[in-house]
Amino acid sequence: MLNLTEHPANATSYLDLSVIIKVCVVIPFFFIFLCCILVMLYIFASHRQFLDSSRYILFASMLISDTVQLLVSVLLFFLVMGHVKFALVYCFPLLFISTATFQNTPLILATMSLERYVAIIYPLQCPPAWRSDRIWIIIVSLWLLSCVCSIIGCSIGPQKNAADNFYIPVVCADSIVNSSPIQTLFKTVINILCFAAVAVIILFTYVRILLQTRKLRQDRTSVSKAMNTVLLHGFQLLLCMLAFTIPITESLIVFYTNWLLKDIAFFNFFCFVLIPRFLSPLIYGFRDQSFKSYIGVIFICCSNRIKPGVSSLMQNS
């Protein structure tokens, strides 16, 4: 740190190199995630069996939510890292989308666990609300709930007296724009209640399905798969909750290392926001046998198309 203060040119080159490394790490990582998500959404939209299943419709909704959340989060992270300032009127929509999608994913996980519970408890007569032609009502309700919480969180802060304040350039970070104590308290309470409720629902569905296995003498395979699916939803919830460990890890890194604040922010963002959101849908998608078989077919078709092109280039050379 002393050398950097003594040599401004070295400090500038170090910061430039740090920014380049961060961009080279995050951008390829995000595009790999995006390609995998697009493949799974293409499989979902091109096969009728997935469109007729409430389980896969909820999974597609989670894919869309995680994709939007990561897209906005990556955009905001690079804007903050580059100290790009723009008007509040353009910043609020980005923060609103980021907050709403962050809260929407655990709600979808709870709904997916309840769907497995309904499928096991009512195998012959599924309730109308859980049928594939009506599941969109539950999905829209989840989106509305997360959006309402996000709107309330942005509106309970101190009110701006002049409309011109909405056009003042600021760094678009939630800790800067929505920094009042009442907003921080509201977001903390909402996040704790949301994740606690989802954890209770997942635990409840797992215990009920476990008790149901003792009553059923047939079709134990499907019941066992449902239990494993609910456990996977619990693991996905833990991945989402890693974002709450950022203040703790930030304090530990500051105490034991001499990292710059930008490097600490990037480490927390990459390890506790980007990677969990990347792993959660991919683990579920690649674990599912139906998705896994179609993904394998797509990659085989792509490799067969690439190989003739490569062989023709070698022959020409």
- The model's pLDDT over 250-280, given as tens digits with 9 standing for 90+, comes to 778 877 778 877 788 888 888 888 888 788 7
User: Has residue 139 got a pLDDT over 90?
Assistant: yes
Domain residues for the domain of 169 are 2-316
3-state DSSP assignment of residue 157: coil
26: nearest Cα among 79, 63, 85: 79
Whole-number average pLDDT of the chain: 79
Write the CATH number for 14. 1.20.1070.10
Domain count, the chain: 1
* Segment 4-22, tens digit of pLDDT: 444 555 545 555 677 778 8
218 falls in which pLDDT band (50, 70, 90)?
A: low
217 falls in which pLDDT band (50, 70, 90)?
A: low
Distance between CA 197 and CA 205 in Å, rounded? 12
Distance between CA 198 and CA 116 in Å, rounded? 14
92: nearest Cα among 141, 185, 160: 160
Total-model pTM: 0.82
Q: Which helix (H) or strand (E) holds 29?
A: helix 8-46
User: Has residue 48 got a pLDDT over 90?
Assistant: no
pLDDT value of residue 147 = 93
Tell me the H-state helices in the chain.
2-6, 8-46, 48-51, 54-81, 88-121, 135-155, 174-177, 181-215, 220-241, 246-256, 261-269, 275-287, 289-316
Query: In degrees, to the nearest 5, what angle opens at C-alpha 275 toward C-alphas 273 and 281?
Result: 100
Greater confidence (154 vs 114) lies with 114
CA 128 to chain CA centroid, nearest Å = 29
Distance between CA 201 and CA 249 in Å, rounded? 28
Cα–Cα separations (whole angstroms), residue 218 to 127, 164, 210, 215, 225: 22, 68, 14, 9, 14
User: Has residue 141 got a pLDDT over 90?
Assistant: yes
* Segment 172-196, tens digit of pLDDT: 888 778 777 888 888 888 888 888 8
Distance between CA 229 and CA 231 in Å, rounded? 5
The angle that helices 88-121 and 220-241 make with each other, rounded to 10 degrees, is 160
Query: In degrees, to the nearest 5, what angle opens at C-alpha 101 toward C-alphas 107 and 119?
Result: 30
Least confident interval from 119-123, 221-225, 243-247, 311-315? 311-315
Tell me the H-state helices in 130-173.
135-155
pLDDT value of residue 97 = 92
